Amino acid sequence: MYTHLQERYAQRPPVNISVLNKMKAEGHKIACITAYDASFAALIDDADADLVLVGDSLGMVIQGHGTTVPVTLEDVIYHCKAVSRGLYRPFLMADMPFMTYASREQALNNAVRLMQEGGAKMVKLEGGASQADIVEFLANHDIAVCAHLGLKPQSVHKAGGFRVQGRDEATAEQMRREAKLLESAGADAVLLECIPAALGAQITQELQVPVIGIGAGPDTDGQILVVYDVLDITSGPKPKFAKNFMSGADSPLAALRNYVTAVRSGSYPAPEHCFLPLSNSPLSQAIEHRNPSTTK
Protein backbone atom coordinates (compact mmCIF):
# COMPACT_ATOMS: atom_id res chain seq x y z
CA MET A 1 0.00 0.00 0.00
CA TYR A 2 2.79 2.46 0.85
CA THR A 3 5.60 1.00 -1.23
CA HIS A 4 5.37 3.55 -4.01
CA LEU A 5 5.38 6.66 -1.83
CA GLN A 6 8.90 7.61 -2.95
CA GLU A 7 7.78 7.64 -6.58
CA ARG A 8 4.40 9.27 -5.87
CA TYR A 9 6.02 12.20 -4.07
CA ALA A 10 9.25 12.57 -6.03
CA GLN A 11 8.31 16.19 -6.85
CA ARG A 12 7.86 17.08 -3.17
CA PRO A 13 11.14 16.97 -1.24
CA PRO A 14 10.83 15.87 2.39
CA VAL A 15 10.67 18.61 5.02
CA ASN A 16 13.74 18.98 7.24
CA ILE A 17 14.95 21.50 9.84
CA SER A 18 16.29 23.83 7.14
CA VAL A 19 12.89 23.90 5.45
CA LEU A 20 11.19 24.74 8.77
CA ASN A 21 13.70 27.53 9.48
CA LYS A 22 13.20 28.93 5.98
CA MET A 23 9.43 28.85 6.44
CA LYS A 24 9.80 30.89 9.64
CA ALA A 25 12.18 33.35 7.97
CA GLU A 26 9.84 33.83 5.01
CA GLY A 27 6.66 33.99 7.09
CA HIS A 28 5.13 30.79 5.70
CA LYS A 29 3.00 29.09 8.34
CA ILE A 30 3.96 25.53 9.30
CA ALA A 31 1.01 23.08 9.30
CA CYS A 32 1.49 20.31 11.89
CA ILE A 33 -0.74 17.52 13.14
CA THR A 34 -0.48 14.39 15.28
CA ALA A 35 -0.70 10.85 13.91
CA TYR A 36 -0.55 7.43 15.50
CA ASP A 37 -0.83 4.95 12.60
CA ALA A 38 0.18 4.45 8.97
CA SER A 39 -3.25 5.05 7.42
CA PHE A 40 -3.74 8.45 9.04
CA ALA A 41 -0.10 9.28 8.32
CA ALA A 42 -0.60 8.62 4.60
CA LEU A 43 -3.75 10.79 4.54
CA ILE A 44 -1.90 13.58 6.36
CA ASP A 45 0.93 13.32 3.85
CA ASP A 46 -1.61 13.57 1.00
CA ALA A 47 -3.07 16.64 2.72
CA ASP A 48 0.41 18.25 2.51
CA ALA A 49 1.08 18.84 6.21
CA ASP A 50 4.65 19.91 6.98
CA LEU A 51 5.24 18.15 10.30
CA VAL A 52 3.72 15.13 12.03
CA LEU A 53 4.00 14.46 15.76
CA VAL A 54 3.61 11.03 17.31
CA GLY A 55 2.38 12.60 20.52
CA ASP A 56 2.02 11.01 23.91
CA SER A 57 -1.58 12.21 23.53
CA LEU A 58 -1.88 8.66 22.17
CA GLY A 59 -2.30 7.66 25.83
CA MET A 60 -5.60 9.55 25.88
CA VAL A 61 -6.99 9.22 22.35
CA ILE A 62 -5.77 5.69 21.53
CA GLN A 63 -5.34 3.98 24.90
CA GLY A 64 -8.18 5.70 26.76
CA HIS A 65 -6.21 6.96 29.75
CA GLY A 66 -7.18 10.23 31.46
CA THR A 67 -3.67 11.66 31.11
CA THR A 68 -0.45 11.11 29.10
CA VAL A 69 1.45 9.93 32.20
CA PRO A 70 1.02 6.13 31.64
CA VAL A 71 2.51 6.25 28.10
CA THR A 72 5.78 4.34 27.77
CA LEU A 73 8.71 4.68 25.40
CA GLU A 74 7.72 1.33 23.84
CA ASP A 75 4.24 2.73 23.11
CA VAL A 76 5.66 5.75 21.28
CA ILE A 77 8.18 3.62 19.36
CA TYR A 78 5.40 1.24 18.26
CA HIS A 79 3.21 4.09 16.93
CA CYS A 80 6.17 5.99 15.49
CA LYS A 81 7.21 2.94 13.43
CA ALA A 82 3.69 2.69 12.02
CA VAL A 83 3.48 6.42 11.24
CA SER A 84 6.91 6.51 9.59
CA ARG A 85 5.76 3.82 7.13
CA GLY A 86 2.92 6.07 5.96
CA LEU A 87 4.88 9.32 5.60
CA TYR A 88 7.14 10.64 2.92
CA ARG A 89 7.17 14.47 2.93
CA PRO A 90 6.29 15.67 6.47
CA PHE A 91 8.99 15.96 9.13
CA LEU A 92 8.45 13.30 11.82
CA MET A 93 8.71 14.28 15.47
CA ALA A 94 8.12 11.94 18.43
CA ASP A 95 7.31 12.69 22.05
CA MET A 96 9.60 11.56 24.84
CA PRO A 97 7.13 10.16 27.38
CA PHE A 98 6.93 10.99 31.09
CA MET A 99 10.19 10.20 32.96
CA THR A 100 12.09 8.98 29.91
CA TYR A 101 14.45 11.99 30.01
CA ALA A 102 15.14 12.43 33.72
CA SER A 103 18.92 12.21 33.28
CA ARG A 104 21.24 13.04 30.36
CA GLU A 105 22.14 9.39 29.66
CA GLN A 106 18.55 8.21 29.91
CA ALA A 107 17.42 11.01 27.57
CA LEU A 108 20.16 10.20 25.05
CA ASN A 109 19.47 6.45 25.04
CA ASN A 110 15.74 6.98 24.65
CA ALA A 111 16.03 9.69 21.97
CA VAL A 112 18.31 7.38 19.99
CA ARG A 113 15.71 4.58 20.24
CA LEU A 114 12.95 6.91 19.01
CA MET A 115 15.12 7.78 16.02
CA GLN A 116 16.67 4.40 15.20
CA GLU A 117 13.70 2.14 15.96
CA GLY A 118 10.80 4.57 15.54
CA GLY A 119 12.09 6.57 12.58
CA ALA A 120 11.67 9.96 14.30
CA LYS A 121 13.77 12.86 13.04
CA MET A 122 13.19 15.12 16.03
CA VAL A 123 12.24 14.43 19.64
CA LYS A 124 10.00 16.62 21.80
CA LEU A 125 10.26 16.94 25.55
CA GLU A 126 8.27 18.92 28.08
CA GLY A 127 10.25 21.25 30.25
CA GLY A 128 11.46 24.67 31.19
CA ALA A 129 14.75 25.88 32.60
CA SER A 130 15.32 22.62 34.47
CA GLN A 131 15.43 20.75 31.15
CA ALA A 132 17.99 23.07 29.49
CA ASP A 133 20.82 20.76 30.49
CA ILE A 134 19.11 17.75 28.86
CA VAL A 135 18.33 19.75 25.71
CA GLU A 136 21.96 20.85 25.49
CA PHE A 137 23.21 17.29 25.96
CA LEU A 138 20.95 15.96 23.18
CA ALA A 139 21.80 18.88 20.89
CA ASN A 140 25.53 18.25 21.47
CA HIS A 141 24.90 14.72 20.22
CA ASP A 142 23.30 16.09 17.03
CA ILE A 143 19.76 15.18 18.02
CA ALA A 144 17.08 17.62 16.89
CA VAL A 145 14.99 18.70 19.88
CA CYS A 146 11.70 20.53 20.28
CA ALA A 147 11.07 22.02 23.75
CA HIS A 148 7.42 22.01 24.90
CA LEU A 149 6.41 24.95 27.13
CA GLY A 150 3.15 26.30 28.50
CA LEU A 151 0.68 23.62 29.52
CA LYS A 152 2.79 20.52 30.08
CA PRO A 153 0.39 17.56 30.24
CA GLN A 154 3.00 15.24 31.82
CA SER A 155 3.00 17.58 34.86
CA VAL A 156 -0.78 17.44 35.30
CA HIS A 157 -0.70 15.81 38.74
CA LYS A 158 1.86 18.28 40.07
CA ALA A 159 0.09 21.26 38.44
CA GLY A 160 -3.34 20.21 39.70
CA GLY A 161 -5.08 20.00 36.34
CA PHE A 162 -4.92 21.04 32.70
CA ARG A 163 -4.75 24.83 32.94
CA VAL A 164 -3.92 27.75 30.65
CA GLN A 165 -0.40 28.95 31.51
CA GLY A 166 1.35 32.35 31.46
CA ARG A 167 -1.77 34.40 32.12
CA ASP A 168 -0.14 36.84 34.54
CA GLU A 169 2.89 39.00 33.96
CA ALA A 170 5.24 37.03 36.23
CA THR A 171 4.58 33.61 34.70
CA ALA A 172 4.55 35.09 31.19
CA GLU A 173 7.97 36.67 31.82
CA GLN A 174 9.31 33.39 33.15
CA MET A 175 8.09 31.53 30.04
CA ARG A 176 9.77 34.08 27.76
CA ARG A 177 13.04 33.61 29.67
CA GLU A 178 12.76 29.82 29.57
CA ALA A 179 12.04 29.82 25.82
CA LYS A 180 15.21 31.86 25.19
CA LEU A 181 17.23 29.65 27.52
CA LEU A 182 16.08 26.49 25.74
CA GLU A 183 16.90 28.03 22.37
CA SER A 184 20.39 28.91 23.62
CA ALA A 185 20.75 25.36 24.93
CA GLY A 186 20.24 24.09 21.38
CA ALA A 187 16.50 23.50 20.94
CA ASP A 188 15.65 23.50 17.21
CA ALA A 189 11.98 24.31 17.77
CA VAL A 190 9.66 25.31 20.60
CA LEU A 191 6.07 24.18 21.07
CA LEU A 192 3.73 26.38 23.12
CA GLU A 193 0.53 24.88 24.52
CA CYS A 194 -2.43 26.80 25.99
CA ILE A 195 -1.05 30.27 26.62
CA PRO A 196 -2.45 33.74 25.86
CA ALA A 197 -2.22 34.68 22.19
CA ALA A 198 -0.18 37.82 22.94
CA LEU A 199 2.42 35.77 24.81
CA GLY A 200 2.58 33.29 21.90
CA ALA A 201 3.24 36.22 19.56
CA GLN A 202 5.97 37.69 21.82
CA ILE A 203 7.86 34.42 22.23
CA THR A 204 7.63 33.74 18.49
CA GLN A 205 9.09 37.15 17.73
CA GLU A 206 11.89 36.74 20.25
CA LEU A 207 13.13 33.33 19.05
CA GLN A 208 15.12 32.48 15.93
CA VAL A 209 13.85 28.87 15.86
CA PRO A 210 10.35 27.94 14.64
CA VAL A 211 7.60 28.15 17.27
CA ILE A 212 4.61 25.83 16.91
CA GLY A 213 1.45 26.64 18.84
CA ILE A 214 -1.56 24.73 20.12
CA GLY A 215 -3.91 27.15 21.81
CA ALA A 216 -1.16 29.80 21.63
CA GLY A 217 -2.84 32.21 19.22
CA PRO A 218 -2.52 32.99 15.52
CA ASP A 219 0.96 34.51 15.52
CA THR A 220 3.15 31.46 16.17
CA ASP A 221 5.14 30.18 13.17
CA GLY A 222 2.95 27.09 12.92
CA GLN A 223 -0.05 25.34 14.41
CA ILE A 224 -0.55 21.79 15.61
CA LEU A 225 -3.73 19.90 16.50
CA VAL A 226 -4.50 16.34 17.54
CA VAL A 227 -5.78 14.59 14.40
CA TYR A 228 -8.80 13.21 16.28
CA ASP A 229 -9.88 16.77 17.12
CA VAL A 230 -9.43 17.89 13.49
CA LEU A 231 -11.63 14.99 12.35
CA ASP A 232 -14.08 15.32 15.27
CA ILE A 233 -13.45 11.74 16.40
CA THR A 234 -12.77 12.62 20.06
CA SER A 235 -15.94 12.37 22.14
CA GLY A 236 -16.91 14.72 24.96
CA PRO A 237 -16.10 18.39 25.43
CA LYS A 238 -13.36 19.77 23.18
CA PRO A 239 -10.58 22.16 24.15
CA LYS A 240 -11.28 25.82 23.29
CA PHE A 241 -8.54 25.81 20.63
CA ALA A 242 -9.87 22.72 18.78
CA LYS A 243 -11.80 23.07 15.54
CA ASN A 244 -13.86 20.41 13.77
CA PHE A 245 -12.62 20.45 10.16
CA MET A 246 -15.04 17.63 9.18
CA SER A 247 -17.76 20.24 9.19
CA GLY A 248 -18.40 21.00 5.51
CA ALA A 249 -15.88 18.37 4.31
CA ASP A 250 -16.98 15.26 2.43
CA SER A 251 -14.09 13.03 3.54
CA PRO A 252 -11.32 12.86 6.18
CA LEU A 253 -8.79 13.78 3.45
CA ALA A 254 -10.80 16.89 2.53
CA ALA A 255 -10.98 17.86 6.23
CA LEU A 256 -7.22 17.45 6.63
CA ARG A 257 -6.63 19.54 3.50
CA ASN A 258 -8.95 22.22 4.88
CA TYR A 259 -6.95 22.24 8.12
CA VAL A 260 -3.63 22.64 6.28
CA THR A 261 -5.10 25.41 4.10
CA ALA A 262 -6.56 27.21 7.14
CA VAL A 263 -3.20 27.12 8.96
CA ARG A 264 -1.33 28.36 5.87
CA SER A 265 -3.79 31.18 5.24
CA GLY A 266 -3.93 32.18 8.92
CA SER A 267 -7.71 31.68 9.11
CA TYR A 268 -7.13 29.10 11.87
CA PRO A 269 -6.90 29.81 14.77
CA ALA A 270 -9.67 32.42 14.92
CA PRO A 271 -10.26 34.62 18.00
CA GLU A 272 -12.66 32.06 19.50
CA HIS A 273 -9.81 29.50 19.63
CA CYS A 274 -7.49 31.83 21.60
CA PHE A 275 -6.83 32.46 25.28
CA LEU A 276 -6.54 35.85 26.95
CA PRO A 277 -4.30 36.80 29.86
CA LEU A 278 -5.68 37.95 33.20
CA SER A 279 -7.45 41.25 32.63
CA ASN A 280 -5.09 43.73 34.32
CA SER A 281 -1.75 42.63 32.88
CA PRO A 282 0.08 44.47 30.05
CA LEU A 283 -0.32 41.32 27.94
CA SER A 284 -4.06 41.71 28.19
CA GLN A 285 -3.83 45.26 26.88
CA ALA A 286 -1.63 44.05 24.02
CA ILE A 287 -4.19 41.51 22.80
CA GLU A 288 -7.17 43.82 23.32
CA HIS A 289 -5.39 46.44 21.26
CA ARG A 290 -4.70 43.92 18.49
CA ASN A 291 -8.15 42.42 18.52
CA PRO A 292 -10.73 44.47 20.40
CA SER A 293 -13.57 42.09 19.50
CA THR A 294 -12.02 39.12 21.33
CA THR A 295 -14.10 38.12 24.31
CA LYS A 296 -12.54 36.96 27.57
Contacts with ligand KIV by CB under 6 A lie at: 34, 53, 55-57, 95, 191, 193, 214, 224, 226
Is 154 or 284 the residue whose CB approaches ligand KIV more closely? 154
Cβ at position 292, least distance to ligand KIV in Å: 29
Strand, coil or helix: 291: coil
Smaller CB distance to ligand KIV: residue 55 or 86?
A: 55
Determine the Cα–Cα distance for residues 75 and 228; give it in Å rounded to an integer. 18
R_g over Cα of the chain:
18
For ligand KIV, the closer CB: 55 or 222: 55
Taking the complex as a whole, the smallest distance from the CB of residue 58 to ligand KIV amounts, in Å, to 7
Closest CB 296 distance from ligand KIV, rounded Å? 24
Nearest to 30 by CA among 283, 264, 275: 264
Catalytic residue among 7, 193, 272, 288: 193
Question: How far apart, in Å, are the Cα atoms of 62 and each of 99, 176, 233?
Answer: 20, 33, 11
183: annotated active-site residue: no
Which one, 47 or 230, has the nearer CB to ligand KIV? Answer: 230
Torsion angles phi and psi, residue 207, rounded to 5? -100, 150
Q: What is the DSSP letter of 144?
A: -
| Nearest position to ligand KIV, beta carbon | 55
> Least distance (Å) from ligand KIV to the CB of residue 167?
19
d(C-alpha 30, C-alpha 107), whole Å: 27
**273-296 as b/e: b if 16+ CB within 10 A:** bbbbbeeebebbebbbeeeeeeee
| Minimum distance from residue 280 beta carbon to ligand KIV (Å) | 29
| Residues 55, 47: Cα–Cα separation, whole Å | 19
Give the residue numbers marked as catalytic.
193
